[in-house]
Amino acid sequence: MTQEINSFEIVKNLIDTSVKKLNLSKSVCEILSEPQRVLTVTIPVQMDDGSVKVFTGYRSQHNNALGPYKGGIRFHHDVNLDEVKALSTWMTLKCAVANIPYGGGKGGVIVNPKTLSRGELERLSRGYIRAIAPVIGADLDIPAPDVGTNGQVMSWMMDEFARIRGYNEFGVITGKPVIVGGSLGRVEATSRGCVFVIREAARVTGLKLKGATVVVQGFGNVGSIAARLLQQEDGCRVLAVSDSTGGIYNPNGLDIAAVEEHKARTGSVKGFPGSKEISNEELLTLECDILVPAALENQITGQNAGKIKAKIVAEGANGPTTPEADRILAERKILVLPDVLANSGGVTVSYFEWVQNQYGYYWSEEEVNNRLERKMVEAFNNVYSLYSKRKDVDMRGAAYMVAIERISEGMRVRGWLGNQMYADIKREAKPA
Ligand code: GLU
């Protein structure tokens, strides 16, 4: 029997542990244990056959102590409220780890977008934005792409919001196409950020990236580009990749650009010439140096963590590793680069996009990538130095501590924690 793993319970427990380790007031934990606001909406969509189908969507605004709520919108048939709440909590933590001036939010619609026509997808995207319009805005809550959505969907959403407001507010949504206020480098940003963090991890562990072997689970926006960058820029050998239809393996390495073309043509990675089909379980447990889970939550579990042979696990996805798996991987000295660090490149370039929108002045791709690199290297080193100093946390624990310390300080100075925190908090401000 497969046990249901609830990501929201997982993230709340991790926050609780970190708050205790940081010796912070339990109010910090209580505040971070529930989103500040959750909206459930129903979206009637006219289907191509003339019928009306009603979809359910959510927007969870977890915390805005450090800035507007920020986070993607997921279109997936497994979306549920607890998942959206967990994803919004991760966004709060991720933005704090990345040290960008945002809180966390997330949205989702229960739908398999692949079953919709282009017109239906557009009407659903516009309908969702109409439904959540009262609670979003460039200084309030800023959506972006996530699983099942992309630049085109963001563009429709931004346009719908502009119609409601009566003027363009480009900064309300990030991940837009470049022609309508998007940023160069945003499409690759999550993957590029992940690669910057992998490079740092390779440096501190003494792993040579040239010729290193890589396995990637998930060949969507994050996984496919991470695989390509690791192959083309770092000389890694990508042994296996997978998507929702299955996995492919070639011990001599796959030509990722060619796999991307194959997938664009056929709709899946399966059947790529010269590759052998492998199951998801086989893929995760392949002998390799770097494993990049870049699909969905709860993929590395107590069941398979003991069989994982990678030296580094870089979480391109949100929440791919369960706490039980974390314990096993830590015991086995496998270095996990946690989601809130490893995939924070996406929201970091979303922040750059929003800054460019506010200024109406746009940067070159090189400038975006250089700034991203600086941010990722700094975030990695903050987390890694805490991890190296403390014997009682893994990289995820260290990342949570870095994040929660910042969020808690923001909440403290805003007065959300009450006056007793002036005595409680470790880093008490010195009186002038
Ligand atoms: N959906 C992405 C994430 O989970 C990006 C969010 C954003 O750019 O706001 O980090």
In the reported structure, the alpha carbon of residue 412 is separated from the centroid of ligand 1 by a whole-number distance in angstroms of 26
What pLDDT is stored for residue 426 in this prediction?
Answer: 54
- Pick the atom of ligand 1 nearest to 347's CA: 8
Residue 422 has pLDDT above 50, yes or no: yes
pLDDT digits (tens, 9 = 90+) for 352-364: 999 999 999 999 9
Could you tell me which CATH class the domain 189-342 is placed in? alpha beta
What pLDDT is stored for residue 1 in this prediction?
Answer: 35
In the reported structure, the alpha carbon of residue 146 is separated from the centroid of ligand 1 by a whole-number distance in angstroms of 6
pLDDT digits (tens, 9 = 90+) for 372-401: 999 999 999 999 999 999 989 999 999 999
What pLDDT is stored for residue 129 in this prediction?
Answer: 98
Please say whether the beta carbons of 95 and 69 come within 8 A: no
Please say whether the beta carbons of 93 and 344 come within 8 A: no
In the reported structure, the alpha carbon of residue 149 is separated from the centroid of ligand 1 by a whole-number distance in angstroms of 11
Give SS3 for 256. helix
Give SS3 for 67. coil
- Pick the atom of ligand 1 nearest to 146's CA: 1
Q: Which residue has the tokens 């934990």?
A: 29
In the reported structure, the alpha carbon of residue 16 is separated from the centroid of ligand 1 by a whole-number distance in angstroms of 24
Query: What band does 431 get if pLDDT is binned at 50, 70 and 90?
Result: low
Q: Which of 7, 296, 348, 350 to mutate to test the pocket of ligand 1 (most atoms within 8 A of CB)?
A: 350
Please say whether the beta carbons of 288 and 215 come within 8 A: yes
Q: What percent of the chain is predicted at pLDDT more than 70?
A: 96
Residue 325 has pLDDT above 70, yes or no: yes
Residues labelled as active-site residues: 106
- Pick the atom of ligand 1 nearest to 175's CA: 8
Sequence-distant (≥ 6) Cβ neighbours of residue 362 within 8 angstroms: 183, 184, 356
Residue 423 has pLDDT above 70, yes or no: no
pLDDT digits (tens, 9 = 90+) for 277-308: 999 999 999 999 999 999 999 999 999 999 99
In the reported structure, the alpha carbon of residue 276 is separated from the centroid of ligand 1 by a whole-number distance in angstroms of 33
Q: Which residue has the tokens 């696990």?
A: 313
Residue 6 has pLDDT above 70, yes or no: yes
- Pick the atom of ligand 1 nearest to 147's CA: 1
Return the domain boundaries, the chain: 35-169, 189-342, 395-432
Q: Which residue has the tokens 């390509």?
A: 228
Kindly write down the DSSP assignment for every residue of 265-308, as one continuous string: HHSSSTT-TT-EEE-HHHHHTSS-SEEEE-S-SS-B-TTTGGG-
Pocket of ligand 1 (CB under 6 A): 70-72, 94, 144, 146, 174-175, 318, 343, 346-347, 350
Residue 421 has pLDDT above 80, yes or no: no
d(CA 33, CA 424): 20
Residue 142 has pLDDT above 70, yes or no: yes
The residue whose CA has the least distance to atom 9 of ligand 1 is: 71
Work out the average pLDDT over 199-223: 97
Q: Which of 83, 90, 91, 375 to mutate to test the pocket of ligand 1 (most atoms within 8 A of CB)?
A: 91
Please say whether the beta carbons of 145 and 151 come within 8 A: yes
> What CATH fold (topology level) applies to the domain 35-169?
Rossmann fold (3.40.50)
Work out the average pLDDT over 31-49: 98
What is the 3 state secondary structure string of 77-138? CCCCHHHHHHHHHHHHHHHHHHCCCCCEEEEEEECCHHHCCHHHHHHHHHHHHHHHHHHCEC
Work out the average pLDDT over 261-273: 97
pLDDT digits (tens, 9 = 90+) for 212-260: 999 999 999 999 999 999 999 999 999 999 999 999 999 999 999 999 9
What pLDDT is stored for residue 199 in this prediction?
Answer: 98
The residue whose CA has the least distance to atom 8 of ligand 1 is: 347
- Pick the atom of ligand 1 nearest to 142's CA: 9
Distance of CA 414 to the CA centre of its chain: 27
Please say whether the beta carbons of 45 and 123 come within 8 A: yes
Q: Which residue has the tokens 């199951």?
A: 279
Residue 424 has pLDDT above 60, yes or no: no
In the reported structure, the alpha carbon of residue 153 is separated from the centroid of ligand 1 by a whole-number distance in angstroms of 14
d(CA 399, CA 72): 21
Q: Kindly report the average pLDDT of the chain as a whole number.
A: 96
Work out the average pLDDT over 334-352: 98
What pLDDT is stored for residue 356 in this prediction?
Answer: 98
